[in-house]
Homo-oligomer: A and B are copies of this chain.
Amino acid sequence: MSRSTSVDAESPDLPDDLYAVILAGGRGARFWPLSRRARPKQCLSLTSEQSMLQETVARLHPLVPAERILVVTGPVMAEGVRAQLPQLPPQNILVEPSPRNTAPCIALGAVEVARRGGGHAVMAVLPADHHIASPDELRRILMAARDAARSTNALITLGIRPRYPESGYGYLQVGVRMGAWGGRSFHMVERFTEKPSVDVATQWVEAGTHLWNAGMFVFTVDAIRDAIREHLPQTAMAMIELAGNASMLASVWETMDATSIDYGIMEQSRHILTVPCDPGWSDLGAWTALDTVLPSVEGGKGKAASVVAVDSVDCTVFAPSKTVALVGVSELVVVDTKDALLVMSKSRAQELRHVVARLDTEEPHLT
């Protein structure tokens, strides 16, 4: 049995310094009408009986025990998050006072991890709303990245081997190899690029020079504190205040730089490592991305009591308690909830935000 498989079972080799900081503050409006403010994307059960958040926690077992899993979420959804994760100590749910993007959330997580584990503790930052087909493989990757983070004190971002030229993702250009941990090669990141054209993405995927940036990061508390001090000094000051007095959060929060960790830290730093990998990652960023993980039904993919399709193809149906009949339609997204119904052309899925924006004003009880 190789060392890299030891994370699949209770094992004396499991590290006691690895923490998970799960980012669960997003609204996920691209999954309206199923997603709502108080029931965001990460709290939905789209692909299994468990919600995406519950799966995110579950797939860390046994590598990271519940006591070392922190969840950062918003005030409206905090109650729902606590209800979904009864195994987590209540103080492990960190509530951001207002949405300020991911960098402040990670800073908040870093202060808490430092308080518990000190500057050498390692944080794995994980989005709560992604799908991972191979949790075993993810744990092996995280274990290797933890070793690399401890050895190099670098910031590490997981690099997903691209399966197709997706133009909606961020890409990492792979640089020189820096070494191997857990049997895996770690490379410098040459450049971050958000949402390239399909042509450019196609070149990159064919050349094998780039990886998808999945928003999963591993670093020591010291490493992220140093990077924040360099690139987001306001946030670094706030972290110091917060470390001295946790009750200051509400006032200190507003002084943190409202930016993403990608833009605020990763793209500004010259010492980022990546580990090329493939844990079966999917962003599932919108209804149209679900086809890869939803079961087949007549007329396409989906979840419904039943689907009867006449001359209908490539539809995505989500109406768990209903029989859905499709007649002569194709490439539609059909989502039914108690109080709202969506019928959308797949090619226009990016327009859904206009619907949610209008309902925010006109019928806020529906968003």
A interface residues with partner B (beta carbon < 8 Å): 32-33, 305-306, 308, 310-311, 319, 321-329, 332, 334, 336, 339-345, 347-349, 351-352, 354-355, 358-359, 362-363, 366
Q: Cβ of A363: which chain B residues have Cβ within 8 Å of it?
A: 306, 323
Q: Cβ of A341: which chain B residues have Cβ within 8 Å of it?
A: 319, 322-325, 334, 336, 341
Indicate if the CB atoms of A348 and B328 lie closer than 8 Å: yes
Interchain nearest-CB distance for A89 vs B (Å): 39
Separation of A336 and B322 alpha carbons in the complex (Å): 10
Indicate if the CB atoms of A334 and B343 lie closer than 8 Å: yes
Indicate if the CB atoms of A340 and B355 lie closer than 8 Å: no
Residue among A321, A327, A342 with the most chain B CB within 10 A?
A327
Q: Which residue of B lies closest to A338 (CB)?
A: B322
Indicate if the CB atoms of B343 and A310 lie closer than 8 Å: no
In the complex, besides A323-B340, A332-B343, 4 extra interface pairs with C-beta distance below 8 angstroms are: A310-B351, A310-B355, A325-B341, A326-B343
Separation of A33 and B358 alpha carbons in the complex (Å): 29
Q: Cβ of A345: which chain B residues have Cβ within 8 Å of it?
A: 327-329
Q: Cβ of A323: which chain B residues have Cβ within 8 Å of it?
A: 33, 339-341, 359, 363, 366
Q: Cβ of A355: which chain B residues have Cβ within 8 Å of it?
A: 308, 310, 325, 327
Interchain nearest-CB distance for A288 vs B (Å): 12
Separation of A326 and B319 alpha carbons in the complex (Å): 16
Q: Cβ of A332: which chain B residues have Cβ within 8 Å of it?
A: 329, 343
Separation of A303 and B365 alpha carbons in the complex (Å): 20
Given contacts A336-B336, A358-B308, contact A344 B319 (CB under 8 A): no
Separation of A319 and B343 alpha carbons in the complex (Å): 12
Interchain nearest-CB distance for A257 vs B (Å): 34
Indicate if the CB atoms of B344 and A327 lie closer than 8 Å: yes
Q: Which of B32, B326, B336, B366 contacts A344 (CB 8 A)?
A: B326
Indicate if the CB atoms of B329 and A342 lie closer than 8 Å: no
Interchain nearest-CB distance for A141 vs B (Å): 37
Residue among A341, A354, A363 with the most chain B CB within 10 A?
A341
Interchain nearest-CB distance for A315 vs B (Å): 8
Separation of A323 and B342 alpha carbons in the complex (Å): 9
Separation of A13 and B366 alpha carbons in the complex (Å): 57
Q: Cβ of A348: which chain B residues have Cβ within 8 Å of it?
A: 310-311, 327-328
Separation of A355 and B342 alpha carbons in the complex (Å): 21
Indicate if the CB atoms of A340 and B311 lie closer than 8 Å: no
Q: List 5 A-B contacts (CB under 8 A).
A: A306-B363, A323-B363, A324-B343, A325-B344, A334-B343
Q: Which of B319, B325, B328, B344 contacts A328 (CB 8 A)?
A: B344
Q: Which of B305, B311, B342, B366 contacts A327 (CB 8 A)?
A: B342
Separation of A323 and B355 alpha carbons in the complex (Å): 11
Interchain nearest-CB distance for A70 vs B (Å): 36
Q: Which residue of B lies closest to A346 (CB)?
A: B328
Separation of A32 and B359 alpha carbons in the complex (Å): 30
Q: Cβ of A326: which chain B residues have Cβ within 8 Å of it?
A: 343-344
Q: Which residue of B lies closest to A330 (CB)?
A: B345
Q: Cβ of A351: which chain B residues have Cβ within 8 Å of it?
A: 310-311, 327-328
Indicate if the CB atoms of B310 and A325 lie closer than 8 Å: no
